[in-house]
């Protein structure tokens, strides 16, 4: 990481400026103002139960972040499946209901069993993309496959934190895409953009 050196006088003036702030201003960063949706949104969150204690970190982080982006917890339905391999079929059936404006998948694919983890992860991602393209319901993935996962406390803690970050990222992607699709569909309806 690049760091810039500053002369002591410059640092002193910055310290005096920061001391003029209230304690609340010094502790809490300003809240980001996220745009509101023109229409109600409903999201399906499909979670694999394999290594639930890790994957649930993505769910908790997703729910907190998506609520900050004006989709309440009541607008998110949670579905559980045994493992990541079962996610695409559930996503497809949920998309076909037309009840959901987005579907989010979360799972941890690790070595073991009869399938290689790279095969499972690749198959799941491709199938989720197929669901999205066939149904025109956006599907987001927080299905992760670490290169080397060991059943140790250190690895579990590392991946729990990693899944929390992924939960925030997938909520951001979900909300931004839903806003983008709202704008695009409005433009198509107004004849500004052509649909193909």
What token pair was written down for 157? 């803690």
CA dist 172 and 185 (Å) reads 20
Q: Which residue has the higher pLDDT, 32 or 70?
A: 70
pLDDT for 120: 78
pLDDT digits (tens, 9 = 90+) for 116-134: 667 778 899 999 999 999 9
∠ Cα 167 162 56 (to 5°): 55
Q: Where are the domains of the chain?
A: 39-189
Q: Which residues does 165 contact at the CB level (< 8 Å), separation at least 6? A: 61
What phi and psi values does residue 152 have, to the nearest 5 degrees? -125, 160
Judge contact between 54 and 163, C-beta under 8 A: yes
Average pLDDT, the chain: 82
Question: If you classify domain 39-189 with CATH, what class do you get?
Answer: alpha beta
pLDDT digits (tens, 9 = 90+) for 72-106: 999 999 999 999 999 999 999 999 999 999 999 99
What token pair was written down for 159? 């991946």
Nearest one of 57, 122, 114, 129 to 84, comparing CA atoms: 122
Residues designated as active site: 116
Q: Which residues does 48 contact at the CB level (< 8 Å), separation at least 6? A: 55, 80, 81, 82, 83, 84, 86, 87, 106, 107, 108, 143
Q: Which residues does 133 contact at the CB level (< 8 Å), separation at least 6? A: none
pLDDT for 37: 86
Could you tell me the strand order of the sheet in which 76-81 lies? 76-81, 43-48, 102-108, 139-144
């Amino acid at each position: 990481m690049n760091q810039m050196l500053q002369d002591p006088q410059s640092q002193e003036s910055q310290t005096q400026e920061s001391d003029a702030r209230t304690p609340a201003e010094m502790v809490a960063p300003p809240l980001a103002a996220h745009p509101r949706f023109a229409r109600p949104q409903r999201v399906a969150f499909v979670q694999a139960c394999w290594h639930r204690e890790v994957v649930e970190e993505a769910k908790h982080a997703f729910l907190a972040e998506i609520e900050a982006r004006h989709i309440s917890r009541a607008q998110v339905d949670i579905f559980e499946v045994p493992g990541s391999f079962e996610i695409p079929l559930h996503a497809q059936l949920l998309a076909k209901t037309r009840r959901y404006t987005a579907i989010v998948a979360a799972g941890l694919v690790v070595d073991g069993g009869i399938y290689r983890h790279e095969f499972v992860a690749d198959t799941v991602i491709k199938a989720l993309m197929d669901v999205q393209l066939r149904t025109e319901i956006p599907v987001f993935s927080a299905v992760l496959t670490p290169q080397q996962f060991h059943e140790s406390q250190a690895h579990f803690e590392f991946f729990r934190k990693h899944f929390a970050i992924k939960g925030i990222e997938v909520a951001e992607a979900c909300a931004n895409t839903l806003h983008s699709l709202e704008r695009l569909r409005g433009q198509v309806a107004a004849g500004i953009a052509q649909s193909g």
